Amino acid sequence: MNKIYGYVGKIARINLTDSTVTEVSTFNYVPKYIGGRGVCNKIFWDEVGPGVKAFDPENKLIFMTGPTTSTGIPTGGRSTMCSISPNNLPEQYCWSGIGGWFGTMVKFAGYDGFIIEGKAPEPTYIFIDDGKITFHSAKELWGMLVHQTQKKLEEILGKDVNSIVIGPAGENLVRNASITTSNDSVAAKAGFGAVFGSKNLKAISVRGTGKVQAGNVEKILKLHKTMGKPIGKTNPIQYKDSFAPRPHINFPVPGGVKEGRVACSYGCNQHCNLILLDVKAGIGGNEKGRTNVVNKCVGIYAYQMIEDSGWTPQMSFNTPQNDYAGCRFISGDGFTPDLSDPAINEGFLDRQLGDIVNYWDGDYDRGNVINDLCTQYGIDRWDVIIWYMSWLAMAKKEGVLDDIDFGLGMEIDPSSEEFMKRFLEMIVYRKGYYGNIFAEGMARAIRTLGMEKYGKTIYTGRVSQRTGNQQIIPISLESAWGHCCHWAGRGFQGSNDITCWLPIAIELMTSTRDAQTNTHHHDSFDYYLEVRNDPCHNPRVASSTIFNEHCAELKESLMSCEFQLPQIFDKDIESEMFEAATGIKMTHEEIYLAAERIKNLFRAILIRNNGRTRDMEVNEVYPILTYPDADGRTVSWEDFNHLVDMYYEQRGWDKKTGWPTRETYERLGLEEVADELEAIGKLPEK
Ligand code: SF4
């Protein structure tokens, strides 16, 4: 077999119960499953059967890099984790992407990834030191905040180590606890910090001084020039008198704002992360109570949430002249569109205003305190800002909380810095009746409190700036699988239009989490023009959904990020990245077949382990689509099911059950999966 580059060839199997380490060859899984999430899916399919719960020792947490990781390919420095998510409702197999230098160091230490299994008898941390893996007591670290833990590990192991750690939220099995790297990149969405906690695992540190050989260095240098048109700049630090990351969040800041741009991981030339210097700390901080916060994505909403962000077709759709990856526009990274583009005359840049929601007014210090608290406690900042705070604001305004006292010695008020400090402390340390309820995540908290009142009550403060009408929305803001609305045409960032939120609804339907936090739906502008009048009856909506799902699989398997992929008008970018890393030539068709294989294996896991069916997922995702989008549009049951039919058909899945057919599995080289499912009656009848 020709030499394969990019991979280091080994995966460590780390058993916490008996403190043993064995090794698995990465080539058992690649190149068939590419890397990252693809390999995680295969290991999970082989090793974790039905009936295992998120906090069981039998649940495995799989961390994988991709072939591009540590090769210097831009955006290739990221990694991914997979396991049963405690934050999902119901608990299901899920993934979480993570930046940082940790993944690169793991490869320099001689591993493409590791499988964490079992449960340590006492608080423990793992040290991967250039191929040697050891277990250490974490009794001294247990209870420490995230930054304290990082600092202590550097004191113990040296400044040349890189660690992923949990905070008190993970230790107390708070279901949306996160895992944080040394540069505050987090794996947050699925609550894997609580899986670490359930295994008595406080941290994993790594020292890697080795090298990774890439397949085609010239191609990497070429990719550095062509990929992502780097616009972010690391320095100099900018001094601004106001905080205006978005048009509608602009308020003066006493003493000014000090901000810069940083990369989140090794080899990235795009530096999209916003860092704010010398801001008010939520907890700890320096002797003056100041700290620095890395702001990504939702962090800015902690500062103000009056108006939902607007949307322009250009944010979700590309033209040959304006061919940029999804997140670039959504992140507000200022760039100048090519105005000679004829699409401009057809509404490409037409701004659609977001809904007025009036949740909380502007406060720079409060925003930084909340962002810092989430980092230090190790709790999903997304869930805290977008879901807990929004629900508190709406429920309070609708009088739903009038008969509730959280016992915090003050009035319930999400716009109060002091209230949010006490509220988060109550959750993270599971203090009292309400501390335990909210530590179970919003989806379970609403059900425990009572869905009728605390979920289905209509918020009367949402006003569409497009129709001028008040728009009904339930205070639960729930979309599906224990997650809240996001780019769903209503709720948070709900200003995109039906050509976007319909495929996003299908992507959520066949997933186990809100994928839009790291994979924003994207397609060409002419798709938008073609389908916008009757999207439920246009097969192009189904194929656009499938294209985006496959892009996401590749982004999380190669590794890359959505500042780079998908590139709508550069269909070879993924196979180029793969060849640059591994030296293996793959055509666009071959690498997308691998993506389809990875997606169908994910599907098989949900069918075997969680009994996933058409009825289950359509009934899960449809209810929120009956509430008006920002244009007042909804979708009927018949129309939505017509679109689902088209999607299943294009996927080679049975329309009645939603299960892939044997032909589909065999076409993808998944015969053994079909055999196992047939044996348990989970293959569609002929
Ligand atoms: S573009 Fe941003 S998110 Fe992507 S790898 Fe670079 S810094 Fe990270």
| 399 Cα: distance to centroid of ligand 1 (angstroms) | 42
Summarised one tens digit per residue, pLDDT across range 82-116 is 999 999 999 999 999 999 999 999 999 999 999 99
Separation of alpha carbons 325 and 323, rounded Å: 7
Separation of alpha carbons 406 and 395, rounded Å: 14
Residue from 271, 520, 555 to probe ligand 1 pocket by mutation (most atoms less than 8 Å from CB) = 271
Mean pLDDT in the chain?
93
pLDDT score of 267:
83
pLDDT score of 329:
64
Residue 522 has pLDDT above 70, yes or no: yes
Give residue 233's pLDDT band: very low, low, confident or very high (50, 70, 90).
low
Give the ligand 1 atom nearest the CA of 561: 4
Q: Output the pTM of the full model.
A: 0.96
Give the ligand 1 atom nearest the CA of 269: 6
More confident residue, 379 or 74: 379
DSSP, collapsed to helix, strand or coil, labels residue 651 as helix
| 77 Cα: distance to centroid of ligand 1 (angstroms) | 8
- Structural domains in the chain, CATH included, are 10-207 (3.60.9.10), 497-679 (1.10.599.10)
| 503 Cα: distance to centroid of ligand 1 (angstroms) | 25
* Pocket-forming residues, ligand 1, beta carbon under 6 Å: 75, 78, 99, 263-265, 268, 270-273, 561, 563
Rg of the Cα trace of the chain?
A: 24
pLDDT score of 498:
96
Q: Please, which residues have CB within 8 angstroms of residue 443's CB and are 6 or more apart in sequence?
A: 89, 478, 482, 483
Summarised one tens digit per residue, pLDDT across range 155-206 is 999 999 999 999 999 999 999 999 999 999 999 999 999 999 999 999 999 9
| 227 Cα: distance to centroid of ligand 1 (angstroms) | 12
Summarised one tens digit per residue, pLDDT across range 594-622 is 999 999 999 999 999 999 999 999 999 99
pLDDT score of 270:
79
Separation of alpha carbons 383 and 236, rounded Å: 32
Question: Contact, 189 vs 517, CB < 8 A?
Answer: yes
| 293 Cα: distance to centroid of ligand 1 (angstroms) | 16
| 560 Cα: distance to centroid of ligand 1 (angstroms) | 8
Residue from 73, 75, 79, 327 to probe ligand 1 pocket by mutation (most atoms less than 8 Å from CB) = 75
Helix, strand and coil in the chain, % to nearest 5: 35, 20, 45
Summarised one tens digit per residue, pLDDT across range 256-266 is 999 888 888 88
Cα 204 to Cα 162, 180, 598, distances in angstroms? 8, 11, 27
Give the ligand 1 atom nearest the CA of 262: 7
pLDDT score of 326:
64
Q: Is the dihedral of CA 77, 299, 236, 331 positive or negative?
A: positive
Phi, psi of 459, rounded to the nearest 5 degrees: -85, 125
Summarised one tens digit per residue, pLDDT across range 463-520 is 999 989 999 999 999 999 999 999 999 999 999 999 999 999 999 999 999 888 878 8
Residue 230 has pLDDT above 60, yes or no: no
| 52 Cα: distance to centroid of ligand 1 (angstroms) | 34
Least confident of 39-48, 264-273, 536-545, 669-678: 264-273
Residue 419 has pLDDT above 80, yes or no: yes
Q: Which of 46, 38, 106, 193 is nearest to 559 (CA)?
A: 38
Give the ligand 1 atom nearest the CA of 263: 7
Residue type, 28: N
Least confident of 20-34, 98-112, 122-136, 345-359: 345-359
Summarised one tens digit per residue, pLDDT across range 623-654 is 999 999 999 999 999 999 999 999 999 999 99
Summarised one tens digit per residue, pLDDT across range 333-375 is 556 778 888 898 999 989 899 999 999 999 999 999 999 999 9
Cβ count within 10 A of residue 432: 12
Summarised one tens digit per residue, pLDDT across range 545-597 is 999 999 999 999 999 988 888 888 989 999 999 999 999 999 999 999 999 99
Summarised one tens digit per residue, pLDDT across range 323-344 is 877 666 665 555 677 888 889 8
What share of the chain has pLDDT > 90, as a percent?
Answer: 81
